[in-house]
Amino acid sequence: MGSLEYTYTCTGEGGTATARFTVVVLAVPPVGQRVTRDRPDDVPGNQTQFVSMRSSDGPDRGHDWNGQMETVINSAVVFLAGKTGKIPVVDTYGGRPDVLFVQSPKTHAELLGNQSGGDVIIPLLNELGRLIGGLQEKKKYIIFYEPLSNPGVAGSAVLGGAGGGIYPFYTQWDGALVDPDGNFPPFIPYGRNWLHELFHALGAVGQFAPHGYRGHVMDDQCDLMYGFPQPPGPPVEPQECITATGPEIDRGGDGRTPGDDWFGDNVPAGVFNAKLSPFLIPAPPEMVAMGKAMMRAQTLRAEPAVRYEFREELVLLPKRPHQ
């Protein structure tokens, strides 16, 4: 595009000083192409920024520009609208998710070192901050990173921190994020996964939630925020959950009060309530209707409903990683 040069001269008691700097003007990539820098936001304020990140020796499957990540993002937003009437504010450009592609100069081994499990997210967020000039306070970052070796989890996040990571693991899909055979709706598994990690980054599940344990709920295995590890005690009997309609949003279990742990009107004072998060806004009525219709359509599918288990670990650090 070109460059602009600016010169500033300041005069004071100590004399005169001159400063010159050059601003390089770059073209904004159009919608539908790979983006290596954050484009102007459609709306200001708190947002969720999606990132496709790879190491120097990692696979590049083009999920950031070929529609795979966009499908996973949109399906989860519509699902949440139908379930709760609220949606996260996604960083968009031209009305579509502004997915940022970031390639680290480090190899997978150099990037993650000996980190595994939930701790994988720490070096990823640190590296992201280093490469983009710092993480913004008004953004939560969801990083899709395909590791070269199994990290032991499908996702992780910093509780109340800068964001979370999704680590694609369905090798039978040949690296795709959406089931190529159409047996699973686009929301499963990765739409569900990023919502789970986003709510962790927002602060769920709070330490003093009535049925919380290490950042998860334990009273309903079908809850979006149900997770591992299990609390001490006898093993819990597996609960049948309906994959087609997606996970539940703090509905309670065994007749307990709904919306009392992390999302709803019965969350106790002093416990984090995601329903009140400034990163969520009311969904447009047409999107709410679309979400409800999507769940009804999935319920009527001919395929038998199956239970989907998601294993992840949470970093219990209520702060942003150092940059």
In a domain, 307, yes or no: yes
> Tokens in use for 218?
């334990």
In a domain, 177, yes or no: yes
The CA-atom distances, in angstroms, between 83 and each of 88, 118, 197, 311 are 13, 28, 17, 23
DSSP codes, 213-255: ETTEE-S-TTBTTB-SSPPSSSPPPP----STT--BSS--STT
Report the chain's mean pLDDT, rounded to a whole number.
Answer: 83
Share above pLDDT 70 across residues of the chain, in percent, rounded to a whole number: 75
Tens of pLDDT, residue by residue over 253-312, are: 666 789 999 999 999 999 999 999 999 999 999 999 999 988 777 655 434 333 444 455
Tens of pLDDT, residue by residue over 215-225, are: 999 888 889 99
Tens of pLDDT, residue by residue over 21-62, are: 444 334 455 556 799 988 999 999 999 999 999 999 999 999
Per-residue burial over 92-116, b if 16 or more Cβ lie within 10 Å, else e, is bbeeebbbbbbebeeebeebbeeeb
The count of other CB atoms within 10 Å of the CB of residue 39 is 16
Distance CA 255, CA 278 (A): 30
In a domain, 264, yes or no: yes
Angle at 310 between CA 63 and CA 192, to 5 degrees: 50
Distance CA 94, CA 87 (A): 18
Q: Which of 76-80, 169-173, 252-256 has the highest mean pLDDT?
A: 76-80
> Tokens in use for 182?
């159409």
In a domain, 181, yes or no: yes
In which band, very low, low, confident or very high, does the pLDDT at 115 lie, cut at 50, 70 and 90? confident
Per-residue burial over 52-69, b if 16 or more Cβ lie within 10 Å, else e, is bbbbeebeebebbbeebb
In a domain, 118, yes or no: yes
Q: Is the pLDDT of residue 320 over 60?
A: no
Chain centroid, CA 251 distance in Å: 22
Intra-chain end-to-end CA distance of the chain, in Å: 31
CB 70 within 8 A of CB 93: no
Distance CA 175, CA 179 (A): 10
In a domain, 80, yes or no: yes
In a domain, 6, yes or no: no
SS3 308: coil
Domain count of the fold of the chain? 1
Distance CA 157, CA 141 (A): 10
In a domain, 208, yes or no: yes
What are φ and ψ of residue 51, in 5° steps?
-130, 130
The count of other CB atoms within 10 Å of the CB of residue 283 is 22
* Residues belonging to the chain: 323
Q: Is the pLDDT of residue 213 over 50?
A: yes
Helices (H), the chain: 68-84, 108-112, 121-132, 192-202, 285-299
**Cβ contacts of residue 195 below 8 Å, gap of 6+?**
76, 79, 80, 224
- Residue 275: which domain range? 30-315
